[in-house]
């Protein structure tokens, strides 16, 4: 079986929707996670993503189980500065796109190739400017 052209080869990145669907055991996201595990790939998210995904109705044990199986990358000053540069380059404003920009900066700092699972493919594609494969989930 040949690999899809969108299949990850270095790092798989989950945005808030990707992480939320992983917590819910969504079939398409769990398929990506199985592929990543089989290929011994890094699976990451940004610490900023937790701000979007944690809410009173989320299944906390399922969230913690999911987080234990991936890497939550910190938002450091260099990541924040890179995120601000990505926003400027894409002509976007930090107020609305700050978390997407932090996730994008985190993704672009990861070993490539990078694939991002997201509900905002247009925004993340603009921020990553062709340096990551962006897949809608």
- The pLDDT tens digits for 37-52 are 999 899 999 999 999 9
pLDDT bin (cut points 50, 70, 90) of residue 109 is: very high
Do the Cβ atoms of 68 and 86 come closer than 8 Å? no
Among the residue ranges 34-38, 66-70, 91-95, the one predicted with the least confidence is 91-95
Find the mean pLDDT for residues 68-97.
95
pLDDT band at 1 (very low <50, low <70, confident <90, very high): very low
Among 133, 82, 74, 127, CA closest to 100: 127
The CATH class, in words, for 11-136 is alpha beta
DSSP letter (8 states) at residue 59: -
Other CB atoms within 10 Å distance of the CB of residue 62: 13
Task: Tell me which residue has tokens 């690999």.
Answer: 3
10-25 confidence digits (pLDDT tens): 999 999 999 999 999 9
| Distances in whole angstroms, Cα of residue 22 to Cα of each of 18, 29, 89, 107 | 6, 6, 31, 18
Predicted confidence at residue 2, as pLDDT, reads 39
Phi, psi of 29 (to 5 degrees): -70, -40
Q: Is the peptide bond before 25 cis (omega within 30 degrees of 0)?
A: no
Domain ranges of the chain: 11-136
What mean pLDDT is predicted for residues 64-71? 97
Lowest mean pLDDT among 52-56, 87-91, 93-97, 130-134: 93-97
User: Is residue 11 a contact partner of residue 39, using CB atoms and an 8 Å limit?
Assistant: no
């Amino acid at each position: 079986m040949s690999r899809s052209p969108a299949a990850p080869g270095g790092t798989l990145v989950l945005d808030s929707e990707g992480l939320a669907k992983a917590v819910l055991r969504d079939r398409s996201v769990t398929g990506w996670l199985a592929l990543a595990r089989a290929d011994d790939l890094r699976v990451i998210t940004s610490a900023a993503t937790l701000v979007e995904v944690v809410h009173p109705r989320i299944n906390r044990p399922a969230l913690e189980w999911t987080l234990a199986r991936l890497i939550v990358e910190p938002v450091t000053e260099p990541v924040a500065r890179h995120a601000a540069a990505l926003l400027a380059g894409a002509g976007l404003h930090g107020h609305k796109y700050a978390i997407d920009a932090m996730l994008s900066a985190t993704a672009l700092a990861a070993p490539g190739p990078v694939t991002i699972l997201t509900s905002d493919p247009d925004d993340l594609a603009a921020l990553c400017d062709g340096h990551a494969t962006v897949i809608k989930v």
